[in-house]
Structure 1
């Protein structure tokens, strides 16, 4: 399942978009009115889609894009004049007035991109050498010992840290080993 968050300053607009998506069989993780709420909701997601307007109560869409991990795509719904200069990387624009057909097709296109990225990550994980797997296992063991995490928590921590920093899991494991080994 691909998580979606809807962010508009007027909650009714977000609820209407959520209802459209729900009627089409898509699940929405949350409807927010501020960028801060969206960021908090996105903290629990590895990847997904944020559907937002040009301006929220506390920030512009460009600021929200900046604070979100690169694995989360942004679908901006606003008048084309507001993004006539071009859009940030990782942002897809839909013009107002919004057509349900365009919304559903664009969300499906973004979901396909996310599925492709997930598949690539899974294939990369399968193709790790024994030495690379050992480094990741060593980092997990260190996290389990020092931070009192379960193996699942340590794995999740490495995954989330790698996604947040934009590095692969092996590089993140190497950073954890370097940092935690220096703090002995």
Structure 2
């Protein structure tokens, strides 16, 4: 579950929202009153949601949006008249005064979106760098020449060795090179 950072210009407001979220089962990292605190805290966390007011002690929400890590989503709590500025970016908006149900359902929706994004990132294959790709290509070439395998057969052989041994694909390709050379 992603962490939540609450940031409002008054510490009492930030603590009240933090307590509300904690009572409803959410993990809140800390209440903050400055954008610098939010950025420092966000840098130490992997991902999450920043719930903030329009203006903090040292910056407005748009500056915070620019400086925050890309893995964090932002929920702006402000009057509807201030929403015009956040239409073109990825900032979610919630009207003041806050309704508990609206806040909780919006946070839940944002967390579900982050979970889907994480799953999508995990399902994509990891990109190999040039050096790793050279090792894999060399292992396939050796298997194709010495064992008369096709390229897909050599790939499947390395893949099976990798799965059987519990090593990475590149480590198994390195072992093939070491054995045959």
TM-score, normalised relative to structure 2 = 0.69
Rg comparison, structure with higher value: 2
Shift of 1:87: 3.1
For the 8 Å contact 1:3–1:49, the answer to whether it is kept is: yes
For residues 34 and 89 of structure 2, what CA distance do their matches in structure 1 show?
21
- Stretches of structure 1 that go unaligned for 5 or more consecutive residues are 136-184
| 1-structure distance, mates of 2:42, 2:118 | 17
Q: Distance in 2 between matches of 1:90 and 1:128?
A: 27
Change beyond 3 A, Cα 1:37–1:131: closer
Cα root mean square deviation, aligned: 1.8
Contact map agreement 2:65 2:74 (CA 8 A) in 1: yes
CA change 1:129–1:67 in 2 (3 A) is: closer
Change (3 A) 1:79 1:44: same
In structure 2, distance between residues paired with 1:117 and 1:102: 23
Q: Indicate the SS of the match to 2:28.
A: coil
Count of equivalent residues = 133
Cα pair distance change 1:134/1:23, threshold 3 Å: same
Report the Cα distance in structure 1 between the residues aligned to 2:112 and 2:64, rounded to whole angstroms: 22
Q: Residues 63 and 123 from structure 1, CA distance in 2 versus in 1: closer, same or farther, beyond 3 angstroms?
A: same
| Secondary structure, counterpart of 1:21 in structure 2 | helix
* Gap runs ≥5 in structure 2: 134-181
State yes or no: 1:27 paired with 2:27.
Answer: yes
1:157 equivalent in structure 2: none
Give the CA deviation at 1:46. 2.1
Which consecutive aligned stretches of 4+ in structure 1 deviate over 4 angstroms post-superposition? 129-133
Residue deviations 1:54-100 (CA, integer Å, cap 9, x gap): 00000000000000122210000010101234435221000001000
CA displacement at 1:50 relative to structure 2 = 0.2
- For the residue of structure 2 that corresponds to 1:17, the secondary structure is helix
Shift of 1:29: 0.6
Q: Output aligned runs, 1:80-159, within 5 Å.
A: 80-124=80-124, 127-128=125-126, 134=132
Distance 1:134 1:52, change over 3 A: same
> Is the contact between residue 43 and residue 69 of structure 2 (CA under 8 Å) also seen in structure 1?
no
Q: Deviations over 1:2-52 (max 9, x none)?
A: 111000010000111011101111110111000000000000122110000
**Is 1:10 paired with 2:14?**
no
Distance 1:107 1:62, change over 3 A: same
- Cross-structure match for 1:139: none
C-alpha distance 57-110 of structure 1, shift in aligned 2 (>3 A): same
